[in-house]
Amino acid sequence: MAGILRLTKVTKEYPRSGVALRDLSFELAKGEFLFLAGHSGAGKSTLLKLVSMSERPTSGEVKISGYSSATLAARELPKLRRKLGIVFQDFRLLADRTAEANIAFALEVTGAPHASIGPKVARLLTQVGLAAKATAFPHELSGGEQQRVAIARALANDPFVLLADEPTGNLDDRATRGIFQLLREINASGTAVVMATHDVTLIEWSGLRFLELEKGALMYDGNDAARLVADLRGRR
Amino acid sequence: MRLALREVLLAFRRAPVLALLGITTIAFSLFAFGLFGLVAINIRSALREVENRVEIRAFLTEGASDSAASEVVVAMQRLPQVADVGYVSPDSALERARAELAEFRDVMDSTVLPGSIEVRLKEGARDPETMRTISGKLTAFPAVDDVRYGQEWVEKLYRIRTIAGVAGSGLAVVFALVAVIIIGATIRMAILARTREIEIMRMVGATNGFVRLPYLIDGVLKGVTGGVLAVLLAYAANSVISRNLVVTQFFSAQQIALGIAAGALIGFVGSWFSVDRQLRQVWRDA
């Protein structure tokens, strides 16, 4: 399988807080599902920032879908972003717009043809199971539902990879399972997913590949969840 | 473009108070600048009016011939600093005096008043130095008896003009700077209220130009509206002063257009820099 994302000896150092990632290398195949595991401060979010090219590595190279962190011009960044879907722990919805308007916003600002927006939004809402809540405002939705809207928005431009930074961090168990299920479905339809989480149970239960980060260093890359459980739980 | 306009309208509908506050702030800072401008142009036009009355008068010797007088007139007309030259014959001087001083009519005898030559200088050549030079030239003619131009008075006027010019330019810069800073802060506030929108636009891959457009339109609209309001306020203030105190001069159409254009420009530049700062901020931590 062709790799769509490759990090080669990536180190990220901040002038104030020091090294956030150290000498990290890994590859993500097309359509793969990957967890990023580790305590807060382990470097999960930094890794996602580097992958979305919000930040550039201090050394090493991030390569995603033909774009390289070494050569990407600021002008090209929007083009790359349209191929990425990004989801956050705090949803980041526009509070004064309905669910459908929030999703439409992503299409409008990237210049989608006007006529295509309505049907596309409806399809996305159905995909995330919120067809009935199209006209609800974020404050009228539960946390899980808000995250579904955010995921629908992230999918609006048909990304090939979805980056999710602790998407279930603010949700209860039931909603967590729902969101995870949705991400699995999205993954099954061909979109790669990179999900940062400290929810060990979820990783254990899924049996999927994960990267274990600790203080910016890659400790493990594989799907032996037993090891992770020992590592993370043992150190608590 | 249509989307950008819709976003502008939406922003106004969602936070009308903030938008109105912004427009009012812009209007008042431009108004303050406008008032200062009004004072400045009125002082300047008053000074110019006084200056227009500045003239050099050369009294001719008694019995100077008309040809000797016209020789002086022609010589004066040739000077580049001279706007126009007039000759007042002894007869017309007497006539003028009779008309102006009716009570002395009986005393006047045709030989009492000398003829004279009045020299007006061009704008920009009414400084004491030039006046001294020209009167020196006049004195050199044998037909000229005495030259007067109110030396002390001209020097004082000239000093006032210089001070007004320097102080005016300095104050104009300060006022303009204050207006720019206040307007810039106002626009920045409006944009900070929309940080999340900008963040999301960037996240989903809107181009920088696309992100900027609604804010630039917003800034320009606010600048223009504020500029128009400032002109109306200044007009009202000017009318009140004209009616009750002294008749003052208002801005020309060109100056008004320039003021409104300045409002638009400040709005544009302010928005550009504020959005740019947001654009440079990347992926805020959750």
* Percentages (nearest 5) of helix, strand, coil residues in chain A: 40, 30, 35
Calculate how close chain A gets to B209, using CA atoms only, in Å: 10
Does position A33 have pLDDT exceeding 80, yes or no? yes
Three-state secondary structure call for residue B114: coil
Cα(B124)–Cα(B81) distance, integer angstroms = 8
Query: Is the overall model pTM greater than 0.80, yes or no?
Result: no
Contact A28, A4 (CB under 8 A): yes
Nearest CA in chain B to A91: B286
Burial annotation B201-240 (CB, 10 A radius, 16+ → b, else e): bbbbbbbbebbbbbbbbbbbbbbbbbbbbbbebbeebbee
The end-to-end CA distance of chain A, in Å, is 37
Amino acid at B35: L
Give the residue-averaged pLDDT of B60-83.
82
Of the candidates B60, B76, B79, the one whose C-alpha atom is nearest the C-alpha of residue B68 is: B60
Give the residue-averaged pLDDT of A206-232.
86
Q: Which residues of A touch B283 (CB under 8 A)?
A: 49, 52, 54-55
Q: What percentage of residues in chain B have a pLDDT greater than 70?
A: 94
Name the token pair of A212: 């274990």
Does position B282 have pLDDT exceeding 60, yes or no? no
Q: Please give the residue that has the higher pLDDT: either A8 or B82.
A: A8
Cα angle at A31 between A187 and A150, to 5 degrees? 40
A92 vs B14, B196, B207: nearest CB: B196
What DSSP designation does B96 have? H
Does position B191 have pLDDT exceeding 90, yes or no? no
The end-to-end CA distance of chain B, in Å, is 32
Interface test with B, best of A16, A109, A165 (most B CBs within 10 A): A109
Q: Which residues of B touch A84 (CB under 8 A)?
A: 205
Contact B149, B86 (CB under 8 A): no
Q: Where are the domains of chain B?
A: 2-49+158-280, 55-148
B200:A105 CB<8 A: yes
User: Checking DSSP bridges between strand A209-214 and strand A33-37, what pairing results, if any?
Assistant: parallel
Contact B83, B106 (CB under 8 A): no
The pLDDT confidence band at residue B283, using thresholds 50, 70 and 90, is very low
The pLDDT confidence band at residue B284, using thresholds 50, 70 and 90, is very low
Cα(B153)–Cα(B157) distance, integer angstroms = 6
Q: What CATH class has B55-148?
A: alpha beta
Q: Which residues of B touch A (CB under 8 A)?
A: 3, 14, 196-197, 199-208, 210-211, 282-283, 285-286
Express each pLDDT in B248-273 by its tens digit. 888 888 888 988 898 898 888 888 88
Nearest CA in chain B to A159: B204
Does position B20 have pLDDT exceeding 90, yes or no? no
Amino acid at B38: L
Q: Which residues of A touch B207 (CB under 8 A)?
A: 78
Radius of gyration (C-alpha) of chain B in whole angstroms: 31
Does position B212 have pLDDT exceeding 50, yes or no? yes
Q: Which residues contact B62 (CB under 8 A, 6 or more apart)?
A: B111, B114, B145
Q: How many Cβ contacts (< 8 angstroms) between chains A and B?
A: 61
A94 vs B196, B202, B211: nearest CB: B196
Name the token pair of A24: 């990290």
Does position A208 have pLDDT exceeding 60, yes or no? yes
Cα(B165)–Cα(B160) distance, integer angstroms = 8
Nearest CA in chain B to A156: B204
User: Checking DSSP bridges between strand A192-197 and strand A33-37, what pairing results, if any?
Assistant: parallel
A81 vs B197, B204, B285: nearest CB: B204
What's the pLDDT at B111?
A: 55
Calculate how close chain B gets to A85, using CA atoms only, in Å: 7
Does position B159 have pLDDT exceeding 80, yes or no? yes
